[in-house]
Structure 1
Amino acid sequence: MEVNEDKKDFKTNTVGDIFSANPKIISRNVSVYYNNKKAISDVSLDIGSKEIISLIGPSGCGKSTFLRCFNRMNDTIDGCKVEGKIFLDNENIYDEMIDVVPLRAKVGMVFQKT
């Protein structure tokens, strides 16, 4: 099977994109560790209000780990450490003053069972 790599241009969400001027969610240099094992490394992403994104990849590549950062569900996992910054409406959700209960009410998730 022959694949022509230059047939498609893949758009990435970068600082120059339309939503970067006023993003709803911003992640900067997010890395997640389970004990000493790095699960995801240095993820930066802007998500605009009402923008739809998809995270696609094989099982175990870090999609759910990254999503759980947005409502701090990783806080409930022993040995899990999140580095970097995540902002929701320009507020650092990992600030020590953030109450996770209203955050989790605001950022809900439903995961698909296989």
Structure 2
Amino acid sequence: MVSQSRSYRTKRIKIALTEAEYAHLVEEAQATGIRLAVLCREKAIKGKVVTPAPKINLEAYRVLRGAANNLNQIARYLNTTKQNPDQALRAAIGKTLLQVDIVSREVIASGDCEN
């Protein structure tokens, strides 16, 4: 069995900040959903903060991805044929935009658009 040595953080650095600087760091930590100490350590060592990926509503994502694909196909058709959309195409565009609007409202109402 190979023993793994665990690295503990035992060194501390004390820095002085203005109220505005401190408030900025606290706000950034809250916005990214990570602890202030982690934010400061990552900024000091890496020069940037890697934020966790937001949680998403997979069903809403699937519907929006399908709607985006439909709009892309419609746009490609219109650009290829260089003609105005006919009634059926207008209906398809309207239906797709309605899907996007409904799903967007559901996601916003349910709070699934936040971390």
**TM-score, normalised by the number of residues in structure 1:** 0.23
Report which of the two structures shows the higher radius of gyration computed on alpha carbons: 2
When normalised by structure 2's length, the TM-score is: 0.23
More helix by share: 2
